[in-house]
Structure 1
Amino acid sequence: MFFAWLKQYMPRSLYGRAALILLLPVVSLQLIVSVAFIQRHFATVTEQLTSAVVLELAYLDEAVSQAEAPQTTLRALGRAFDVGVRFVPADTVPEADAYSWFDLTARRVMSELHAGLDGLAAVALPDDRRVVLWLETGAGVVEARLRRDRLSAPNPHQLLVIIVVLGAFLSLISFLFLRNQLRPIYRLGQAAEAFGKGRHLPYKPAGANEVRAAGAAFLDMRARIERHIEQRTLMLSGVSHDLRTPLTRLKLGLSMLDSDEREPLERDVEEMKQMIDAFLEFSRGAAEGEAERVEPRQIVAQIVEDFARMGVNVELGVVEETGPVRLRGAAVRRAIENLIRNAVRYGNRAVVSITTTERSLCVSVEDDGPGIPEEHRADALRPFTRLDPGRNQNRGAGVGLGLAIAADVARAHGGSLRLGESEALGGLRADLWLGR
């Protein structure tokens, strides 16, 4: 439970996590060693120095209490012990000890003084240079002023400063080496992301052996996928091209028949031609053209205008400003056209909208048709799948490739095609998500 709560505050990037792995143990070790060293070293030095001063002040207390001339004895011992001493009224003694909160050895000094001097009334450590204490003797209250370096090691904070500065410098050097090790991984990620969006980013394996092996595997995979796409395109294009010749001969032969016999056969030939065109379109997929900076708003507006000129009831909905986006314009246009054709085939009205996020672009096509049940939406995206029993066909039949082509284009741009229910029109809502 604790780790689940902590996980949300962990860095998301590889750089951040690597830096945390590097810095957290180093900083923790430095702090632990520093605190332990200061506690052990400075505490021991402080105890030894304070013990020597306690012996001197204890002797001064005893001598002044038994002397016939306390003032003279006090002055003599003060000069001998290099301590500034004088008698002060009892009402000038502070009620409590005083010290700065950032003084690392103040508490140890006061503890040793109180433990060694029974008549010690109060101690003040105003800074790291002076110590003032009030000692009750048999002759009166004595105020003693000493140099701080006689009681504790000077400037204990310097060790912490040195450790922090040195740790930061070494961490910077480590981060530079770490960045050089992570840069090949970052470049591999960029190349994989670009390939997922249909772009070919130059990449050369570099870095450690493991990273080089992953980079070489990525290049092999990318080459195999590109060969597969090319072979599929050539195969389907060849088949589609070869079928056009006998279809042309059939149309010529049918033109010589009587109209009553010719019309049903011509409809069959025309349907076969539409199927071949759909196969050819599917074979091209998203491989047509190179990705370039285009304006999605202009593409969608032009598509809607073209359909409107053909008498199709299509209108433009909410369109957000997106700015130029790197896309394969021809492939995206074909995908949107297929979604609109699918919408008006099963409905009477279609609305096209554009929404954006920080990393993606969404083109939505809604219709007022019967929609697709949720349990059949995954099947609708498969090639050559037709859900005719579940949807009334108002305007001709298809071959089951319209949504598959759109989904293929979306995947080639690092996105997906999602089917849902239109809240505004009550029919199908097709969201074409494209990576930006």
Structure 2
Amino acid sequence: MTVGNPTENTGAERPAKAMGRGEGISDSRGFDWRDPWRLGKRIKHILPRSLLGRALLIMVMPLILVQIITAWVFYDRHFDYITDNLARALASEIAVVTEHLLREEDPAKRQEIFNLHGNLLWMKLSFKQHETLPPDHATRKGYMVRKLRRALNRRVSFNVSIDSEQAGQNVVVFVQMLDGVLRAEIHRERLFNSTSDLFVIWMVGSSILFFGVATMFMRNQVRPIRRLARAAERFGKGRDTPSFTPEGATEVRQAAAAFIQMRDRIRRQMRQRTEMLAGVSHDLRTPLTRMKLSLALIGDGPELKELRSDLVEMERMIEGYLAFARGEGSEAMRPTSLGDLLSEVVEQTQRELANQQGKTLDVHIEEQVSLPLRRNSMRRCLQNLVSNALRYGDNVSIRLGREGPHVVLVIDDDGPGIPEEMREDVFKPFFRLDTSRNPETGGTGLGLTIARDAVRSHGGDVRLEASPLGGLRVRLRVPV
């Protein structure tokens, strides 16, 4: 019997990487938005999965819709109306200036007109004789420029061009007169309504403030649910949750109170089972002891050999049944290295099977992981699994490693194995296989039952598979 080098990193077999939610559904022809099933899958894949994210989405989506509708109404009604009036007013003022220029040809009179209108209308006017209309430099076809161009074309009877690029914060309007070009430079504020900026700032600012307050509120509401989930997870792993108390909304408090009642009922049932079996142990062992003493006084006749064997078998069955029913429920959980515990079990198994020839045991421990365990319960589980593998197989391989949030123990043997349709039945109490395993090797039919009961009390599980060695593979998973 040999023990492998712990430093050899062969490891427990890793399961194939699971396909993601979005993998395997793409079509080489592209996504068909007309397919309602695919559309629903795509939307479900995009939506947040947490309660906090979905609650915020429920609050944010109506807010976004309201803002879109409000912005559309504002820009379609108020902003469009105000901007159109500003553009028409400016175009009318330029049209008045052009009419005055047509009536006055004296340069001095025209300068007076420029000074008068420039001071009253907040625009800088100039006139260049014998000039032609410059090209249009309004390359950024802004909303205000389009409004101004439309208004100028309606009210000014001359050709016009607009320069909104080269004048900085100003807009320059050129009007082709009969004897030259009129130049009117206007500040952008004449065409822009500051209400729109205030509206956008108020809308975005209030939305951010609302989203921040909603996030803080929803986080406080989700926190009790997360505490309940952590408490249920700890209790499922067999760990105590003494500090858990109901808090939060009424529905969350009801769920927390139901969890506490369930936890107390389970603990009470485990305690009652342990207390009851303590009395059963005394009641059953006493008559067995008297029967063994009576047989010892009678003698060692060959007719009594089978009776003594039956008594030994009955005693072993009672011990196994009590171990299964007790489940080490009263044992406290302590940080324990599963690798060290496995090494102790292997050493003990080697001593017990020292006289058996042809048995080979290969052990590889990838990583020493410490986790909360009921040491005696887990030790009994490992003893049952290792002894079971060595009982039915000549070559046994044990691999202990870590897979994400779990510690995985894989035990392979080259024995007769177990048919796939019966791999769940062997976990039933007192269930025995008469064909796949040798019935003459003994056993009470409780080894795998006790092992799974112990592992599940730690939040893990034990499953049986086909082994590459030709026999049975036992895969044990315990959350860290």
Instruction: Indicate which of 264, 268, 286 corresponds to 1:245.
Output: 286
Opposite residue 73 of structure 2, the aligned amino acid is A
Residue 54 (structure 1) aligned to one of 77, 83, 91: 91
Conservation of the 8 A alpha-carbon contact between 1:194 and 1:200: yes
Equivalent residue in structure 1 for 2:272, among 231, 238, 253: 231
> Is 1:293 aligned with 2:335?
yes
Q: How far, CA to CA, are the matches of 1:263 and 1:193 in structure 2?
A: 52
Residues 334, 135 of structure 1: alpha-carbon distance in 2 compared, 3 angstrom cutoff: farther
What are the within-5 Å matches in structure 2 for residues 16-165 of structure 1? 16-65=53-102, 67-69=104-106, 73=110, 76-77=113-114, 79-80=116-117, 81-87=121-127, 93-99=134-140, 105=144, 107-113=146-152, 116-117=155-156, 119-124=159-164, 129-154=169-194, 156-165=196-205
Deviation string 1:265-304 (CA, Å, 9 cap, x unpaired) is 3322221121111111101225141222222221122222
Q: Paired residue for 1:214, among 230, 235, 255?
A: 255
Superposed CA RMSD? 2.8
Q: SS where residue 199 of structure 1 aligns?
A: coil
TM norm structure 2: 0.81
Structure 1: distance between partners of 2:457 and 2:134: 84
Alpha-carbon distance between aligned partners in 1 of 2:143 and 2:451, rounded to the nearest angstrom: 70
Q: Which of 385, 401, 423 matches 1:355?
A: 401
1:343: which partner in 2?
389
AA partner of residue 428 (structure 1): L
Number of the residue aligned with 1:269: 311
Matching residue's letter, 2:71: S
Structure 1 residues 115 and 398, CA gap change in structure 2 (3 angstroms): farther
Which residue type is aligned with residue 85 of structure 1?
L
Is residue 396 from structure 1 mapped to residue 441 from structure 2 by the alignment? yes
CA distance in 2, matches of 1:318, 1:127: 80
Deviation sequence 1:80-132 (CA, Å, 0-9, x none):
133223346867834452338xx775554455445555622234156884212
Other-structure match for 1:195: 235
Quote the residue 1:369 is aligned against. Answer: 415
- Answer 1 or 2: higher relative contact order, Cα 8 Å, separation at least 6: 2
Q: Which residue of structure 1 lines up, in the alignment, with residue 467 of structure 2?
A: 422
Shift of 1:2: 1.6
TM-score w.r.t. the length of structure 1 is 0.88
Secondary structure (helix, strand or coil) at the match of 2:435 reads helix
The one-character-per-residue Cα deviations of 1:234-257 (angstroms, maximum 9, x if unpaired) are 333332332222222233333342
- 2:274 and 2:154 mapped to 1: Cα distance? 93
Q: Where in structure 2 are there 5+ consecutive unaligned residues?
A: 1-37
> Share of identical aligned residues, percent?
37
Aligned residues: 432
Where does residue 456 of structure 2 map in the other structure?
A: 411
- Mapped to 1, the partners of 2:402 and 2:153 lie a distance apart of 72
1:339 counterpart letter in structure 2: L
Mapped partners of 1:68, 1:243: distance in 2: 132
Q: Which residue of 1 aligns with 2:476?
A: 432
Distance 1:342 1:145 in 2: 98
Aligned 8 A contact 1:50 1:151 in 2: yes
SS for the counterpart of 1:205 is: coil
Partners in 2 of 1:147 and 1:357 — Cα distance?
69
